[in-house]
Amino acid sequence: MRSFLVAFLLAFGASSLATPLVLHAARRLQLFDKPDGVRKIHTSMTPRLGGIAIAFGFILPIIGLLFYGNSFSMELSRDPLRLTAFLGGAAAILLLGLVDDTRGVGAWGKLTVQSGVGVALWYGGLSFDDMTLFGVHFEFGALSLPVTVIWVAGIINAMNLIDGLDGLAAGVAFFASLSLFTISLMNNDLMLALFAAAIAGSVLGFLLYNFNPALIFMGDSGSMTIGYLFAACALWSASKRSTAISLALPILALGLPIFDTLFAFARRAVAGRSPFESDRGHIHHRLVDAGMSHRQAVLLLYLLCCTLTGATILVRADGDLSYGIGVLSLTLAVVVALRTLRTQLGPHAKRNQPPLAPQPEPPAAKPVAPPASDAPPAAHGASSRTTS
């Protein structure tokens, strides 16, 4: 357990120390997420690029292990191609997010890079190859590559889409990492447990500055990197977890962002729009539009994540997938009920809310002088995405 605790503390310390540095640099470089009064909920310009701190927090203990002789370092260095694919994919997704946060990247451009990273992971040996379902074992064969690519792109975009309120994506990631850490120990999958501990530490360190009112947003660089880490870490141990229950556990742990993504794609398809077109139909948007404060909406969704965490552990402990199916069905019903709040209460809530005051833009001809200190702006709202 000492290695897990060290990984968690290193990731937490690195992320919590790096976040103020990123915050200061973003302010000096005028890299703000500007409110638009439509889809974006926050009401003042807020620094972003917090994904740099999250990635640094995760990677520090992992790189440190390469120089420390123990069973974890041996596992990491046993297959150089697999390690290169894992770290290279993380770097590519982080870079993609940074470019999107600063310059903007189209939906298909993102999907192309994400798919390319999925192919690289598959080539490096990080893939879904087989599964045992109801006592029947079958090989994915030629389907291994598309299944792996869909898994990687799907989890990345699920985390990206859930990043809509202060602290929401980081909190979802923290609860999901707790789930994966617990079931990994139960499976004696120590490498995945170490990855989960590092993810938990890195997002918790960032959450100190991201919970409402947020001082900084993680941006796409953060949400996509977190999604990639969950996807790639699960693939790292996929060969040890080929049963249907084991493969279902990461899906159950990430149930909230996965459900929200499926609803978003279905909603846009029914409306005849692109599945990648952004809107205000996500569950967190609906809760706020129904009259909840940012904190109330986030805490409610945290409670839903806690339920999924408990269900994930219960399914693994009992070995009965029916528990997971039952909880997923209950979660689906809760999500549908929460989403209807906008229809039932939204118009009344909006009538009773004062209109948002327009925020002035900084002068274009002359750069705005950086603040004298890193004190937070007077008011903050939730993060937003370029593509959602």
pLDDT for the residue numbered 359: 46
Structure tokens of 113?
A: 């890079």
Name the residue range of residue 101's domain. 2-351
Closest CA to 80 of 66, 64, 70, 96: 66
Residue-wise pLDDT for 108-138, tens only, equals: 999 999 999 999 999 999 988 877 655 667 7
pLDDT for the residue numbered 38: 55
Closest CA to 170 of 232, 219, 214, 223: 223
Angle among Cα 59, 60, 61 to the nearest 5 degrees reads 95
Residue-wise pLDDT for 176-190, tens only, equals: 999 889 888 888 888
Peptide bond into 213 cis (omega under 30): yes
Which of residues 89 and 38 earns the better pLDDT score? 89
In which band, very low, low, confident or very high, does the pLDDT at 239 lie, cut at 50, 70 and 90? low
Residue 155 domain-assigned (yes or no): yes
- How many angstroms separate the first and last alpha carbons of the chain? 38
Distance (Å) of CA 368 to CA 23, 32, 371: 16, 12, 9
Residue 321 domain-assigned (yes or no): yes
Which of residues 341 and 146 earns the better pLDDT score? 146
Residue 52 domain-assigned (yes or no): yes
pLDDT for the residue numbered 92: 97
Residue 36 domain-assigned (yes or no): yes
Q: Using an 8 Å Cβ cutoff, are 383 and 33 in contact?
A: yes
Total domains, the chain? 1
pLDDT for the residue numbered 354: 42
Q: Is residue 205 scored above 50 in pLDDT?
A: yes
The SS3 call for residue 164 is coil
Q: Tokens 């990631």 sit at which residue?
A: 173
Residue-wise pLDDT for 305-337, tens only, equals: 888 888 778 777 766 555 556 655 666 666 566
pTM: 0.79
Which of residues 65 and 388 earns the better pLDDT score? 65
Distance (Å) of CA 211 to CA 112, 148, 155, 204, 380: 32, 33, 23, 10, 10
- d(CA 180, CA 196) in angstroms, rounded, equals 6
In which band, very low, low, confident or very high, does the pLDDT at 13 lie, cut at 50, 70 and 90? very high
Which of residues 87 and 342 earns the better pLDDT score? 87
Residue 273 domain-assigned (yes or no): yes
DSSP secondary structure letter of residue 106: -
Q: Using an 8 Å Cβ cutoff, are 360 and 133 in contact?
A: no
Residue 363 domain-assigned (yes or no): no
What type of residue sits at position 126? L
Which range among 184-193, 227-236, 247-256, 323-332 shows the weakest confidence by mean pLDDT? 323-332
Structure tokens of 71?
A: 């069973």
Q: Is residue 60 scored above 80 in pLDDT?
A: yes
Q: Using an 8 Å Cβ cutoff, are 219 and 206 in contact?
A: no
Residue 384 domain-assigned (yes or no): no
Q: Using an 8 Å Cβ cutoff, are 168 and 211 in contact?
A: no
